[in-house]
C-alpha cells in the first residue's frame, strides 16, 4: 500500500479548488490579504468550513488569518466523516498528504501515541482520499505554514455520543494545552433544503435565509460560551445540520477539561465571519452556511 494520500480534491473534480499551484497560491493569498490584520490571535484552534473554495474560501481565510505560523509545530485536523459510519475516530494509513503546493508529513510519533490509547481505528486509504472534510483544509494549511517546519495529525471523527465527545476531548486536551499545537476543526454550518431533509423556518426571523442566519448565529453564540452541554442542548432543540458538530463537540470538551483541571488556561472563542452559499427565499431553495472562528488562550 502506498504511504502517500493522493490528491482527489474531494470529488475527483477540479472544481473544489484549483489544481494549479500558482493559481491556488494566488487565490489563497488574495483571500488572506483581504481579511486585513489578525484580530483574535494567535489561534490555538480554528473552526473553518470545508466546501468548495468558490463558496467558502473567503470565509475560511478569516480563521486562517489568526494563525501565527512561527508558533506552530504540529497541526491537528479534526474532520467529520461524511461517507463512512464511525462510532469513534480514525487515523490515516498514509505518511504523506500531497497538495498542489507541497507535501505534508503526518506526525508518526503522535499517531503512535493515539493508536496506543485503543480509541482509534485505521481508515482505508480509499476512505481517506474520498473524505473532503480534511482534504479541503490541506491547501490552506500548506499556504499559511509555508516555509515553516511542521507536521500534521489528521483525525476522522465519527458520529460520537456525548460521552465519547467528552472522552476524546479529555484525550486531546493535553495536546491543546501545548502552545506548539494548532487544532483545525472542520465544519460547515446549516445545510438547509429538501435535499438535506432539513427546512427549519421561523417566520418571525424574516425571510428563509434570515431565519437560517439567526439559527446559525444562535449556535455560534452557544459555541462561543465554550460549554459542551449547552451546545448539545442547542442541537437537540433545533436539529441544525452542522456537519462538524462532533469535532466541535470534541474541541469544546477539550477546553472544558483544561478548565476543570485548573491548569491556568483561560480560553476564549470568537466567530469572525459568516457566509451562505445562496440566499433562500422559497421552500424549494437550498443553501449551505459557512463560519470562521478562532480560539485563543489568554
Place of cell 459542551: 228
Q: How far apart are CA 19 and CA 79, in angstroms?
A: 22
pLDDT at 130: 82
Is residue 25 included in any domain, yes or no?
no
Q: For 96-134, how does the pLDDT look when each residue is reduced to its tens digit (9 = 90+)? A: 999 999 999 999 999 999 999 999 999 988 888 888 899
Residue 19 lies in a domain: no
CATH number of the domain where residue 135 is located: 3.40.830.10
| Residues spanned by the domain of 231 | 4-12+34-297
> Which cell numbers hold the place of 168?
476524546
The number of domains in the chain is 1
Residues of the chain with pLDDT under 70: 1-15, 19, 263-264
- pLDDT the model gives residue 263: 66
115 assigned to some structural domain: yes
The cell numbers describing 72, all together, are: 506552530
pLDDT of res. 155: 97
Q: Name the DSSP class of 198.
A: B
Write down the pLDDT at residue 32: 97
Tell me, yes or no, whether 21 lies in a domain: no
pTM of the model: 0.94
- The answer to whether position 107 is within a domain reads yes
Q: Would you call 285 helix, strand, or coil by DSSP?
A: coil
Distance from C-alpha of 119 to C-alpha of 139, rounded to nearest angstrom: 28
| 271, part of any domain | yes
Partners of 271 in the beta sheet?
A: 293
Q: Which three cell numbers stand for residue 16?
A: 473544489
Q: Is residue 175 part of a domain?
A: yes
Identify whether 72 is part of a domain: yes
- The 10s digit of each residue's pLDDT in 73-103 is 999 999 998 878 888 999 999 999 999 999 9
Cis peptide preceding 250, ω within 30 of 0: no
Amino acid at each position: 500500500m502506498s504511504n502517500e494520500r493522493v490528491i482527489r480534491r474531494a470529488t475527483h473534480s477540479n472544481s473544489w479548488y484549483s489544481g494549479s499551484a500558482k493559481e491556488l497560491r494566488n487565490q489563497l493569498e488574495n483571500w488572506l490579504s483581504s481579511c486585513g490584520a489578525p484580530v483574535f490571535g494567535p489561534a490555538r484552534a480554528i473552526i473553518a468550513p470545508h466546501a468548495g473554495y468558490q463558496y467558502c474560501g473567503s470565509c475560511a481565510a478569516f480563521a486562517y488569518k489568526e494563525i501565527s505560523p512561527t508558533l506552530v509545530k504540529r497541526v491537528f485536523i479534526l474532520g467529520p466523516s461524511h461517507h463512512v459510519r464511525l462510532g469513534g475516530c480514525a487515523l490515516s494509513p498514509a505518511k504523506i498528504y500531497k497538495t498542489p503546493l507541497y507535501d505534508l508529513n503526518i506526525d508518526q510519533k503522535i499517531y503512535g501515541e493515539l493508536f496506543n490509547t485503543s480509541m482509534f481505528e485505521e481508515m482505508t486509504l480509499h476512505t481517506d482520499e474520498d473524505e473532503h472534510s480534511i482534504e479541503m483544509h490541506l491547501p490552506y494549511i500548506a499556504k499559511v505554514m509555508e516555509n515553516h517546519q511542521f507536521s500534521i495529525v489528521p483525525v476522522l471523527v465519527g458520529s460520537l455520543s456525548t460521552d465519547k465527545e467528552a472522552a476524546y476531548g479529555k484525550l486531546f486536551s493535553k495536546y491543546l494545552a501545548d502552545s506548539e499545537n494548532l487544532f483545525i476543526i472542520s465544519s460547515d454550518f446549516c445545510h438547509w433544503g429538501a435535499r438535506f431533509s432539513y427546512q427549519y423556518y421561523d417566520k418571525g426571523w424574516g425571510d428563509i435565509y434570515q431565519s437560517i442566519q439567526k439559527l446559525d448565529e444562535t449556535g455560534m453564540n452557544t459555541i462561543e460560551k465554550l460549554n459542551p452541554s449547552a451546545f448539545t442542548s442547542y442541537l437537540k432543540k433545533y436539529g441544525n445540520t452542522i456537519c462538524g458538530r462532533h469535532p466541535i463537540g470534541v474541541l469544546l470538551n477539550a477546553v472544558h477539561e483544561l478548565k476543570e483541571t485548573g491548569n491556568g488556561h483561560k480560553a476564549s472563542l470568537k466567530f469572525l465571519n459568516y457566509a451562505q452559499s445562496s440566499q433562500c427565499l422559497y421552500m424549494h431553495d437550498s443553501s449551505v452556511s459557512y463560519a470562521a472562528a478562532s480560539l485563543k488562550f489568554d
